[in-house]
Structure 1
């Protein structure tokens, strides 16, 4: 670097030649040194030492497989034991194995059984088929009782009743603000039908106990036979909703006569099985009581059918 003298004796620093000006300018804009290379290595080392080992815990991969296998084995054994205990305790109150028999149906059986419930007059053989002292499944014998049609009939009846109640009150308002129909009526209709069904079965069981009838009828059989009347109830209500009140009475009258014939011919073989086994009907007090009981059960079906449907058609 060279210095020159001015007129007043002071020396001024000359213009300094800038070398690699472009590099110096770029370096001036960069405030910090680029340490990306060493930073990545440092972060990599920190990641290695920030695992479970740094906190004093053992490697997770060493315990994952044995612990998970042990937990899965214990959980499966516990679930199997719980399932066995539940099946044993549940079978005491609800015979699951017997209920499977009553739901062993197919489409052909359902169609034929519905036709038998509506047109039972031409049917001749009403005896239930047996195989090695065990009744065959309903799908193989149209005379066998089932729970599929009564259960579906009950649900369908509740839905049809809700439709009828909603149709009745569609244009009826209280002060043009609040409809009389509410979902509570639908629940009340279902609970009422269920209570009447249970009371009917209990009354039949009490009557069988008082008359001392030796029969193979079970409680599930009684629920099945009592639930067949919902088919006629649905037919009557639907006919009334579509064609009017007169159609309701005509169709309900037909279905009441059909269910009376069906119940009479079916229960006659069940309640009079002792006399039928001997090949003759002994005229006596006990036999007359059985005949009266059969007729009372058959007559009760039309009464319940009308009682549970007359208010749905207006």
Structure 2
């Protein structure tokens, strides 16, 4: 009786050795790859390899260095042009204020008639900052007054059920545009009359921005006491601002640089100052009458 070749006869103590496994159909090449399932690389390996290869490329490094150089050069040019038109040191001068100065300046804007000395103070031919000289113009009060005026206008429009973002934005942009137009007109007038003075654009912007204080008082009084209170406050603040503008601008325009000017030029200076002062009540009324009803 024949038996399978893998086993001995019945009762035999010796088991016949099994036949070896057949050779694989394909060679095992998994030793050269990652041990991950399926033979794929770990997530992020290709990305890391690409980044390292990119950073190690000389052309890439050169391009990055060139781009950084261009950005640095552009930043230097921007700072240079900014300092050309707007001097940070001069701008800091107009914001060098303290609480005592702000309180006294607001009182001077509301009641300037008892003030005697309107000349700016100097130390070694350098004007003293506003916190040390009440007559020095500043941009802190005009800036804060403009923001307060916009907020007060929004409250007045809300009380009258007429508030909307578009109307409030138009009110703010109109108030700012009128001041800029006034400054440009003063600069043109100073150029035409060839006035030699120490007045700069910041000085004119400060003097023109003081009208926001009168606008706030007029609107606030109108909201509390009606149209009658508004017109009384408008008349008072307008007269005070006109007096303040004439005395301040005339004293500043007739500085040391303008001494010895001919009489016709001095008369033109005076006319320009009076014209700027007379224009203040018109702007205050135009920007506030629609907020009080």
> Normalised by the size of structure 1, how large is the TM-score?
0.69
Match for 1:191 among 136, 158, 173?
A: 173
Query: How far off is 1:135 after superposition?
Result: 0.8
CA contact (8 A) 2:145 2:212 kept: yes
- Which residue of 2 is the match for residue 24 of structure 1? none
SS at match of 1:309: helix
Whether the aligned pair in 1 keeps the contact of 2:119 and 2:251 (CA below 8 Å) is: yes
2:264 is the counterpart of 1:285 = yes
Kindly tell me the number of residue pairs found equivalent between the two proteins: 253
Q: 1:146 and 2:109 equivalent?
A: no
8 Å CA contact retained: 2:139, 2:206: yes
Post-superposition shift, 1:121? 1.1
* Residue 211, structure 1, aligned to residue 193, structure 2: yes
Q: 1:106 aligns with which of 84, 90, 98?
A: 98
Question: Residues 218 and 230 of structure 2 are in contact (CA less than 8 Å); yes or no, is this contact kept in structure 1?
Answer: yes
The equivalent position to 1:159 in structure 2, one of 141, 151, 174, is 151
Larger CA deviation: 301-310 vs 225-234: 301-310
Shift of 1:285: 2.5
8 A Cα contact 1:105 1:137, kept in partner = yes
Does 1:303 pair with 2:260? Answer: no
Tell me the residue number matched to 1:89. Answer: 81
Per-residue CA deviation, residues 214-238 of structure 1 (Å, 9 max, x unaligned), is 1111111111000001001101101
Distance in 2 of aligned mates of 1:219 and 1:233: 22
Residue 239 of structure 2: aligned partner: 257
- CA 1:78/1:140 → structure 2, altered by over 3 Å: closer, same or farther? farther
Higher radius of gyration, 1 or 2: 1
User: C-alpha separation between the residues in 2 aligned to 1:102 and 1:305?
Assistant: 23
C-alpha spacing 1:79/1:311, structure 2 compared with 1 (3 Å): same
Output the CA distance in 2 between the equivalents of 1:106 and 1:290.
32
Q: Post-superposition shift, 1:86? A: 3.4
Q: 2:109, 2:244 within 8 Å by CA — same for their partners in 1?
A: yes
Q: Which runs of 5+ in 1 are unaligned?
A: 1-45, 59-73, 171-179
> Do the aligned partners of residues 289 and 78 (structure 1) sit closer, same or farther apart at CA in structure 2, a change above 3 Å counting?
closer
- Give 1:96 deviation, angstroms: 2.1
Q: 1:191 to 1:77 in 2, by over 3 A?
A: same
Q: Secondary structure at the match of 1:159?
A: helix
Q: State the match for 1:268 in structure 2.
A: 250
Cα separation, 1, equivalents of 2:237 and 2:249: 18
Cα shift readout 1:176-235 (whole Å, capped 9, x = no counterpart): xxxx53210000011111111111111111111111111111111111000001001101
Where has structure 1 moved over 6 Å in runs of 4 or more? Answer: 74-82
How far the C-alpha of 1:164 sits from its partner, in A, is 1.2
Q: Equivalents in 2 of 1:249, 1:309: separation in Å?
A: 11
TM-score normalised by the chain length of structure 2? 0.73
**Cα deviation, residue 115, structure 1:** 1.0
Aligned to 1:313: 292
Q: CA RMSD in A?
A: 3.6
Alignment gaps of 5+ in structure 2: 1-34, 50-64
Give the match for residue 117 of structure 2. 125
User: What is residue 12 of structure 2 aligned with on the other side?
Assistant: none
Match in the other structure for 2:107: 115
